[in-house]
Amino acid sequence: MLTAEGTPAPTNLATLRELAEVTETEAAGLADALPGAEVLFIWDFFSGALADAWPAADSLRWVHVAAAGVDAILFDELRTSDVVVTNARGVFDAPIAEFVAASVLAHDKLLHESKAQQRAGAWQHREPRRTAGSRALVVGTGGIGRACARLLRALGMEVRGAGRVAREDDADFGTVVVSDDLVAHVGDVDHLILAAPLTDRTRGLVGREVLAALPSHAHLVNVGRGALVDEPALVDALRAGALAAASLDVFAVEPLPADHPFWSMPTVHVSAHMSGDVVGWRDALAGQFADNLRRHLAGEPLANPVDKTSGYVPGS
């Protein structure tokens, strides 16, 4: 099990030890711990240590990542190997959707501005926007994106999705447009929600052309990965008034550097990659791995197998 200094251990570690022989290690000791190991549980889910320790993985059959995104741990040798990779699909769907809905409502109801006025001791009447009837485009049609779509629809919003393949009559999105052609589909968007995995195809997906195509009142919400967005282009667009605001939970570099302009921009709302980390999230992740470990020991198919070429679970 790959852990990190300062990160709480899984709460079910005793249960895991009843199921299998467990060796805990941090990144520096992974190469020494891997020989003979059949399963690697990556609890330190942003670690890229496996790539460096790969020559020592002489018996590895399965890697489980305690995260929805697996971009941090994939590398060419792992992709082309017979090692199965699984992820934490499902754990974060509903919590992240709630965070997205809260971000949308906070923007439309001017809650950030109201708090600033309160701190300034200023009474200033303003007119918030209706959320019902507004338009959202959710980029990413996996479990998280679908949970976002369902919750936003419950608020009365018009929701479309953006994914690899265009289609109509989708159960959650209605219409799904091709994400490679976002420029053609964001001209009437009030809220652009990014919930896609980070892959070679999605890196920098929201660049200068997409930002320029958004209406000036548009609000960007990113709960996917920071590198989905060209951050310098976003800074320029916000400063120029090309879009109204951005609620960002993920960033190209984390923690967000102290000198990054996002910190001081009144139209940017920063949170520390926490949209899915509700109270009890570590328990849910630990329990999910234990369930999958039981499947592995019973010779049953594992839940949430990742397509290592695309970087996500097929159908998600």
**Residues known to be catalytic:** 225, 254, 273
Q: How far apart are CA 90 and CA 199, in angstroms?
A: 19
End-to-end CA distance of the chain: 26
User: What is the strand order of the sheet 135-139 is part of?
Assistant: 167-170, 174-178, 158-163, 135-139, 191-194, 219-222, 245-248, 268-270
Q: What angle do CA 87, 91, 95 make, to 5 degrees?
A: 140
Query: Nearest to residue 126, comparing CAs of 141, 135, 138, 116?
Result: 116
186 contacts 213 by C-beta, under 8 angstroms: yes
Q: How far apart are CA 117 and CA 55, in angstroms?
A: 58
Q: Please, which residues bridge with residue 160 across strands?
A: 137
Rounded to 5 degrees, φ, ψ at 248 are -120, 120
